[in-house]
Amino acid sequence: MIDLTLRMNYADVFDFDKFHEAFRQMLASAKGDECIKLESWIESRPDLWKDYDLTLSSKIASVLEVEVYDQYELSSDPDDNIFIPKAKKEELHKQPVQTIRGLVKDFLEAHPEEPQKLLDILAYVNLHNKKPTTRRNLQSSLCQDKEVFIHFDNETWGLCSIPYDGYMKRVKARYLKGRKKGEDGYFYDPNANKVCEDSSIVYSAVQTELRTQDFELRYSTKREHKPTEFFTKALSNSSTLDLGLGYFSSACFNVLACGFAHFVKNVGRMRMYINPNITEEDYNLLKNGDYVGFEDYMLNSYDKLLQIFSHRDKLFFQCLSYLIANNRIEIKIVLLKESGIAHEKFGIFTDFYDNKVAFNGSMNLTAAGLTRNIEAIDCVCSWHNEEAKKRIKCYQDDFDSIWNGQNQDVLVYSADEFCRKIVEKYPTENVDELIRLENEVMEEIAKEEAESAFDEPYFPKKFKDGPRQYQIDAYEAWAKRGKQGVFAMATGTGKTITSLNCALEEYKDDGFYHLLILVPSLALVEQWGNEVANFNYRNIIKVSSENHRWKQDVMQVVTKMRCGRNVNYVIISTYQSFVMQDFQVLLSKLSEGTLLIADEAHNIGSASVRQAFHRLTIKRRIALSATPNRIYDEEGTREIESFFNDTHPYTYSFSMRRAIREERLMPYHYFPYLAKLEESEMEEYARITRQLVQLYNGSKGGFSDPERARKLLLVRKNILHKARNKMDVFRQIIQEIGEDKLKYCFVYSAAGKRTRSDEADDEAIDEYILKQMQCILKYTFPNTTCNSYTGVDSKAMRKHKLEAFANGQLNVLFAKNCLDEGVDVPRAEYGIFTSSTGNPRQFIQRRGRLLRKHDDKRFAWIYDIIVVPDFSSPYYERRFWTMEKHLVENEMRRVANFGSLASNYYTGALDTLDEVISFYDIDLNGMVLNEDE
């Protein structure tokens, strides 16, 4: 079967039916056992071409290969040669094949009394054709040969060579039924405009029907369904149009270029008023009754427009000229009585059967082009419901009120001289020539849209179903809150994609994108750069210590914008670079229309970033964080909420519990292990604790010297972080996992700051502890590969290590705190937390690293070393208990939250901690973070 949809792209340059006639003649004269190459053969036959364009021969040949195989059962070899066996040659001699259009012609010639219904024609063709065709393919085939076939409506076809006199008389009677002839020779519908001239009715025109088209509720140049689609459908399928244009400009004309020639051919009729954008001086001419002066102004404006007309503008005026010359259009000029512009941009299309489609919109008709600027229109169809009919009647009443001079706020003038000028400049008599020009314009628009689509951002193609519902919900919630807010989303739930989808939706409305993305680390600069590129955003500028050209790149954007150019850009900066004076100076010039995305937004609470944010003038803001609350920093938390005009439960929340339940993240098992301080550590720990007890005011529930107490608490917490007993517990954990399973494993080693001057360098101690754990691993399992991942590694080295870990070359990766934010390694399956932290941000981030989905992963396994003071030690004093309870509770907060979502929570996951929980009388259930569903 011939698929005519494949032919449509080349029907204007190549005659496919003529090819088959020639191909059969060639086969009939062939000797057999021969090979031909279709591409070379059609290139040697210019008589088969309507427009001899050899650049298309390869593509046309690919279409023909399918048809040759389908009709003659001949196939090509790997070199595209078609082999003709002798037996096939003999068969072709015996069975000549009739073309589809040949069969249709035979059928129509056998019924000359009247045109035939398409379904009857289809039945005849399929009865006599070797391969059946479809209604759509048949209709497309007939449309390609307008010199032979003519269609009277979508379902009735005839031959141009047959007059069909009896049929035309019946059509004329039906068409004029109920209409009255006026003194001017036109026939009028009592409830509508003049519809036709008695002496020049073209009865071969299509009886249009709008309701056969699928109209969308909204069309936009930045969405799938564009205004060009709407106007093509509406103009090609309507017989009258009432149009009100708010501006007299080039762009408003090319909006209507799509389908206008078909409207002309369908004997369409129009009423149109235009509102020129005039100066106050010209407006006063009209107020003083000097219409002649104003008409001169209009003609002068028209002459200026001629100098900038595009191909499609000229097509519009050629169609307009034809309608004017044939008395099928009326044009009026309207102005508000008070100086201004009539912003109505709407129209009402009506078809042969009185179906109506009305449109209005925020079309930017002052723009110079259609496809590269935001145009948006809404439409309503009369056949949908009674409410739609009422809305269309309102549009019609509004138009008639202005047209008939009944609107008291509007001045209405004729445009006779203006129309004469158009006919003089664009004399047009050949409707078929208009159709040809329109086809060229449509090809031009299709090319523009294709080029535009190449540069336009889009939702990443790897997500075949587009954005998930929760990502759509997040955008809608953000838009409702004035386009400011916090997305409190669990690590691994797609915060990055969700925020970039918001930017994409804004682009669809704005027509441009200006993005500023702030991140806490160099690793995240690279990660965001990759995600932004997946959305096809261009002009990505990375502001960090690793890009020494960022100033020049940003300055280029500033310079272009100062020159009035529309520049799209995405700036990705670390918070550290963001606060620099050089960047702040340039940023002040880029704030207009910018969307700010602050990743890991809890970093904003730091003093330097906070100051920079106070100077921001960017209106649209999104904060991303799994943990918007800054632990121990209520003021910082309030600042974050203030910057983004949001408070708990925040604009959009996606909890860890929900993510696991909906299988966005992996389920996991949780195993806590106790490690107690050794005697020497307990001695130092008790010494600091006694100082804290002296500062503690039990009645007020606080410290008398908060700053000194804070420093002491941090020192004491560091002792717990660096507890030496962790080594034995670490050895116990890896032995329980086993060498064969110890793969894709993260180990978070100690991380903490030393504050006492008499202690060794904290970085050196951290490095020593990390090396000790690596030695324990190598001693226990010599064949297990491992390495460290630290901040001192170069970017290339960090990337290499993560890739080696992901593909299984590295079994275990030791890290301090540089895996807390942004590093994405979905293959990670085991996590050993040896670094105690009560900071929800840190433990939530670390858990999130392990719970990302991967095809080869079914569960994640978390082993957590909990360090507590040894309350059986002689250095432990009972008076420590009240204050110690707060510290242990802080450590147990992580345990409570890890345990509450673990798959083994109800099978004794936390039993190993019973001794500590009982001693300090801790309520684990009350510590679980309040996660909104």
**Neighbour tally for 831: CB within 10 Å:** 23
DSSP lists the bridge partners of residue 814 as 747, 788
Query: What is d(CA 807, CA 714) in angstroms, rounded to the nearest whole number?
Result: 39
> Can you give the pLDDT at residue 142?
79
5 pLDDT more than 60: no
**In the 3-class helix/strand/coil scheme, how is 735-770 assigned residue by residue?**
HHHCCCCCCCEEEECCCCCCCCCCCCCHHHHHHHHH
> Can you give the pLDDT at residue 458?
86
889 pLDDT more than 90: no
Mean pLDDT calculated for residue range 682-703: 82
Which of 248-252, 467-471, 473-477, 700-704 is predicted least confidently? Answer: 248-252
CA of 856: how far to CAs of 433, 593, 666, 745, 771, in Å? 63, 43, 11, 14, 30
Mean pLDDT calculated for residue range 701-729: 83
Pairwise pLDDT comparison (633 vs 776), residue with the higher score: 776
Which of 77-81, 219-223, 233-237 is predicted least confidently? Answer: 77-81
φ and ψ of 329, to 5 deg: -150, 145
Interhelix angle for 495-510 vs 469-480, to 10°?
60
Q: Which residue has the tokens 């432990």?
A: 876
- Contact between 83 and 35 under an 8 Å Cβ cutoff? The reply is yes
Dump pLDDT digits (tens) for 641-672.
888 888 888 889 888 888 888 888 899 999 99
Dump pLDDT digits (tens) for 110-143.
888 888 888 888 888 887 776 677 776 677 677 7
221 pLDDT more than 80: no
Dump pLDDT digits (tens) for 16-67.
878 888 888 887 777 666 777 888 788 778 788 877 777 777 788 888 877 7
Pairwise pLDDT comparison (10 vs 550), residue with the higher score: 550
Percent of the chain beyond pLDDT 90?
Answer: 15
- Contact between 366 and 392 under an 8 Å Cβ cutoff? The reply is no
Q: Is the pTM of this model over 0.85?
A: no
253 pLDDT band, cuts 50/70/90, is low
> Can you give the pLDDT at residue 354?
87
Q: Which of 57-66, 410-419, 487-496, 734-743 has the highest mean pLDDT?
A: 734-743
632 pLDDT more than 90: no
Pairwise pLDDT comparison (246 vs 686), residue with the higher score: 686
> Can you give the pLDDT at residue 595?
93
Mean pLDDT calculated for residue range 270-281: 69
75 pLDDT band, cuts 50/70/90, is low
Dump pLDDT digits (tens) for 288-340.
555 555 556 555 655 554 544 455 667 888 888 888 888 888 888 887 766 54
609 pLDDT more than 90: no
The DSSP H or E segment spanning 332 is strand 329-336
Which of 74-78, 203-207, 689-693, 721-725 is predicted least confidently? Answer: 203-207
φ and ψ of 140, to 5 deg: -65, -40
pLDDT averaged over every residue in the chain: 77
Mean pLDDT calculated for residue range 87-94: 45
189 pLDDT more than 90: no
512 pLDDT more than 80: yes
Q: Which residue has the tokens 């991140």?
A: 519
Mean pLDDT calculated for residue range 85-93: 49
Percent of the chain beyond pLDDT 70?
Answer: 74
Query: What is d(CA 13, CA 11) in angstroms, rounded to the nearest whole number?
Result: 6
> Can you give the pLDDT at residue 307?
47
> Can you give the pLDDT at residue 733?
94
Mean pLDDT calculated for residue range 774-792: 88
Q: Which of 445-449, 747-751, 887-891 has the highest mean pLDDT?
A: 887-891
Residue type, 807: N
> Can you give the pLDDT at residue 830?
93
Query: What is d(CA 116, CA 14) in angstroms, rounded to the nearest whole number?
Result: 28
DSSP 603: G
> Can you give the pLDDT at residue 620?
93
| Coil vs helix vs strand at 166 | helix
503 pLDDT band, cuts 50/70/90, is very high
124-131, long-range: CB within 8 Å, 24+ apart, which pairs? 125/100, 128/98, 128/103, 129/98, 129/100, 129/103, 130/71, 130/97, 131/1, 131/2, 131/70, 131/71
212 pLDDT band, cuts 50/70/90, is confident
Which of 218-232, 800-814, 837-851, 875-889 is predicted least confidently? Answer: 837-851
Q: Which of 341-355, 545-559, 806-820, 917-931 has the highest mean pLDDT?
A: 545-559
Which sign does the torsion angle of CA 508, 512, 517, 523 carry?
positive
**Neighbour tally for 897: CB within 10 Å:** 21
Pairwise pLDDT comparison (445 vs 789), residue with the higher score: 789
Task: List strands edge to edge, sheet with 149-153.
Answer: 116-117, 156-159, 149-153
510 pLDDT band, cuts 50/70/90, is confident
CA of 39: how far to CAs of 34, 83, 691, in Å? 16, 14, 93
